[in-house]
Amino acid sequence: MSELRVGYLGLGLMGKPMARNILKAGFDLTVWNRSPEKCAELQAMGAKVAANPPELARNCDVVITNVSDTPDVLQVTLGEGGLIEGLHPGLIIVDNSTIKPAASRSIYQTLKEHGVAYLDAPVSGGTLGAENRNLTIMVGGDSEPLERVLPVLQAMGKSVTHVGSSGAGQIAKAANQIMVAAQMIAEAELLVLAQKAGANPVKVIEAIKGGAAQCWTLDVKPQRLFAGNRAPGFKASLQAKDLNIVMETAREYLVGLPVTALNTQLFNAMVAYGEGDLDNSAILGTYERMNDVFLQVPEEKQD
């Protein structure tokens, strides 16, 4: 389909299905992962496996990184044994990780001095979105390299938006997480209030979900909570990690976000309690403990 040789670095819960969709779209794909056994499935599907990040960079036109956090991206990109040791003119590096916008901007500058383009391209939509090619991809960086890699991004997501210059994709992701966290916590607060004040939470959600409060969160998450399903979806530990990035960014660019600060602390507490592997909507559990009340769905009759 394309002559672009694509490299994917980081085959975690998100990276692996995203790399799979690149392969399915017909691209020549090479992969690398710190734990090499995660490469086996893609290799069986036809992907090549690079021995190390510099080799991945040398053999590809585009390398996409998808690792856990800011220090990991810095390491695999600019650190010893990182992509930087295999740079070549015309290479484009795209980062699907969610990291600090300032770090993205710094990597962009360093790579620019080597004649290499860098796009920050964090995604939203969770593992399911990654599997179903249903991700929202928010891109920061220059237009020319984005045009070249657009078919690769479109192989992974339904919506690709060029938000602005380097770092703007990460800022959009931070904005996204501010809203998502606010909705998860509002959902938890309204459910415990309904429960304690003696209304049927199922009916309360039914009454409000189509009005001014309408959101994807209320469309999807209460039904899972009512069914006792708190499995991820989107892990609370990642929600907490992303919120801590938001707060570091807010400090870096001098802006006060009091409500997101509080939301961050609540997700930190949830992770501290050992529930980081649950869905972000399971922040409800923090409120249940705090208020000594547990979500109950009455039998089918008026409460």
User: With contact defined as beta carbons under 8 Å apart, do 102 and 250 qualify?
Assistant: no
Separation of alpha carbons 272 and 75, rounded Å: 27
Closer CB to a copy of itself, 150 or 182, in the complex: 182
Q: Which of 16, 48, 158, 173 is catalytic?
A: 173
CB of 112 to a copy of itself, least distance (A): 16
Cβ proximity to a copy of itself, 114 vs 196, nearer residue: 196
Question: Encoding tokens for residue 265?
Answer: 């602390």
What is the C-alpha to C-alpha distance for residues 228 and 205, in angstroms, rounded to an integer? 16
From the CB of residue 35, how many other CB atoms can be counted at a distance below 10 Å?
8
Task: Provide, rounded to whole angstroms, the least separation between the CB of residue 258 and a copy of itself.
Answer: 6
Least distance from C-beta 19 to a copy of itself, angstroms? Answer: 21
C-beta of 78 vs 199, nearer to a copy of itself: 199
Annotated catalytic residue 196: no
In angstroms, the Cα distances linking 141 to 77, 171, 200 are 16, 12, 48
**Strand 48-49 and strand 28-32: pairing?**
parallel
- List the beta bridge partners of residue 183: none
For a copy of itself, give the closer residue by CB, 61 or 120. 120
Shortest distance in whole angstroms from residue 254 CB to a copy of itself: 7
Q: Which residues are catalytic?
A: 173
